[in-house]
Amino acid sequence: MKTGLQIGAEAEVTATVTREMFAQFEGTIVHRAYSTVAMVYHMEWASRKIILPYLEDHEEGVGGAVSVKHIAPTAEGTVVHVKAVVTGMTKNVIVTAVEIRNETGLIGVGEVKQGIVLKETMENRLKQSVMKQGSNS
């Protein structure tokens, strides 16, 4: 990674809740509300925005872990604000604390861990995965 990333670095994602973000399984809507799946997506996206300027051309960020507490529902058309802040880092792992809010207040909190890997290593692991699937058929 390039130098400069520090504890306290932050990024935000803002989104308006749409039907595609509703809680649903196999296309059947369970609740007409912002889903935990959509929340996790936005948490990871906000966290990724922090590391993007620091990745070298031969590196990639990969999701390693996400923890989330979905506190309150959010209806269609509501704007959500997702803020990620770096709280920890090692050579290959960046940890962010994330808060998700709507106009009424806090609707979610969590943590995202991203690993920094070589693109070549990731490509090799994916190829091995495909080869293993083929041999199990």
Domains of the chain: 10-135 (3.10.129.10)
> How confident is the model over 16-61, as pLDDT tens digits?
999 999 999 998 999 999 999 999 999 999 999 999 999 999 999 9
pTM given for the model: 0.90
- Cβ-based burial of 46 (10 A; exposed 0-12, middle 13-18, buried ≥19): buried
CB 51 within 8 A of CB 92: no
- Cβ-based burial of 24 (10 A; exposed 0-12, middle 13-18, buried ≥19): middle
